[in-house]
Amino acid sequence: MGVIEISHVSKCFSPKEGEVHALKDVSVSIEAGDIYGIIGMSGAGKSTLVRCMNYLERPTEGSVKVFNQELGALSEKELRKMRQDIGMIFQHFNLLMQKNVLENVCYPLYIQGVKRREARVKAMELLELVGLADRAKTYPAKLSGGQQQRVAIARALASNPKILLCDEATSALDPQTTASILELLKEINEKFGITIVIITHQMAVVREICNRVTILSSGVVVEEGEVAEVFKHPKSPEAKELIRRDLSGEVDAPVRRPVSQVREGKTFRIVFTENSSYEPVISNVIMQFMEPVNILGANTRNVSGIARGEMLLQLIPDSKHEADIVAYLEERGIAVEEVNADELE
């Protein structure tokens, strides 16, 4: 039984102009200690889904259980109590701009009735943790985005939550700052055993720190599984597209046509893992089959702590050895998958 159990949740908004189904029969199970990624393009329903986890949004149908308690069955007071166990951070940090950093972190403690003095001691410890103890008296407007997000993290941790929900928490930050915030989240997960749910549209974020991932598309779960597995064998077109964008370094940029207008033969994505053999496979393929291969792209990356290499290989048109080459690579522990031309564009 996971700490968060979402079963068959649907959410329907009914604005004036017709109904919008933000979520359709979504089920997600998140285990204690997970860093769970929920990824999708904008409008996929991921922000709605994360808000169902603390009932900022009430699902139209289905059940949301947190710590084995049905959120829909809680009174308003019980729900407020429950929310103190579920921290949340946001894309735009959402700090109190008229309060200094220390008071921002103290706020959730005041809600719980903690005395001012104790609250300040606790808040200082948390600011120490996020590396901003020296900015305690500063107002948020004077801080950078990354620093504001750190304050938000300290604030979210003040009530000793067991779950931390992150809604596009790094989307407003540059890549370096994103990396440092992800590092901090990882540290929090390891140090305090806090279950973290990460909503993002960036596959890089999922690759960097998540152990499991759900891919949402138009309010529907299209793929779910371990991150390493999804990266190795993406099944849905959405997963393939997200991985491709990640591989090519695109994030939100509109799809670009690869440099190679020379694209002719079939293209394969091959993935090296720690199980792959150490021989120079590409050279060997060329020598064995006496056929050139075109390397369209290559990359190494760290997926959940495992180093892996990826390459996009293109064969010559009407290659006679296509099946043999695939078999040859697979024999050597390399995952091979055909990538069709549309996906590359």
Partner 1 sequence: MSWNDATTQMIITGVYETILITVLSTFFGYLFGLPYGIAMVVTDRDGLHPMPVVYKVLDILSNILRSVPFLILMILLIPFTRAVVGKSYGTEGTIVPLVISAIPYIARLVESSLKEVDPGVIEAAQAMGSSKRSIVLHVLLVEARTSLVVNATIATATILGYSAMAGSIGGGGLGAIAIQYGYYRYETTIMVVTVVLLILLVQLFQTIGMKAAKALDKRK
Q: What are phi and psi of 298, to 5 degrees?
A: -155, 155
CB of 158 to partner 1, least distance (A): 8
Q: Are 263 and 345 in contact (CB under 8 A)?
A: no
Q: Are 22 and 12 in contact (CB under 8 A)?
A: yes
Q: Rule CB under 8 A: say whether 58 interacts with partner 1.
A: no
Pick 37 or 161: Cβ nearer partner 1: 161
* Residues near partner 1 (CB under 8 A), total: 32
Enumerate residues 6+ apart whose C-beta is below 8 A from 26: 6, 8, 9, 10, 45, 49, 62, 216, 219, 220, 221
Q: Are 246 and 203 in contact (CB under 8 A)?
A: yes
Q: Rule CB under 8 A: say whether 67 interacts with partner 1.
A: no
Q: Select from 152-160, 176-184, 188-196, 300-308 the region that touches partner 1 (CB under 8 A).
A: 152-160
Pick 55 or 231: Cβ nearer partner 1: 55
Q: Rule CB under 8 A: say whether 86 interacts with partner 1.
A: yes
Q: Rule CB under 8 A: say whether 132 interacts with partner 1.
A: no
Task: Give the torsion through C-alpha atoms of 31, 32, 34, 39, to 10 deg.
Answer: 50
Q: Rule CB under 8 A: say whether 90 interacts with partner 1.
A: yes
Rg of the chain in Å (alpha carbons): 23
Q: Rule CB under 8 A: say whether 95 interacts with partner 1.
A: yes
Q: Checking phi first, is residue 139 left (phi over 0); if not, alpha (psi -120 to 50) or beta?
A: beta
User: d(Cα 212, Cα 302) in Å, to the nearest integer?
Assistant: 15
Contacting residue, 8, 61, 72, 97, with partner 1 by CB under 8 A: 97
User: d(Cα 343, Cα 345) in Å, to the nearest integer?
Assistant: 6
Q: Select from 1-9, 154-162, 239-247, 305-313 the region that touches partner 1 (CB under 8 A).
A: 154-162
> Which x/- pattern, by CB under 8 A, does the window 15-54 give for partner 1?
---------------------------------------x
Residues in the site for partner 1, rule: CB under 8 A?
54, 56, 79-84, 86-88, 90, 92, 94-100, 107-108, 110-112, 139, 141, 152, 155-156, 159, 165
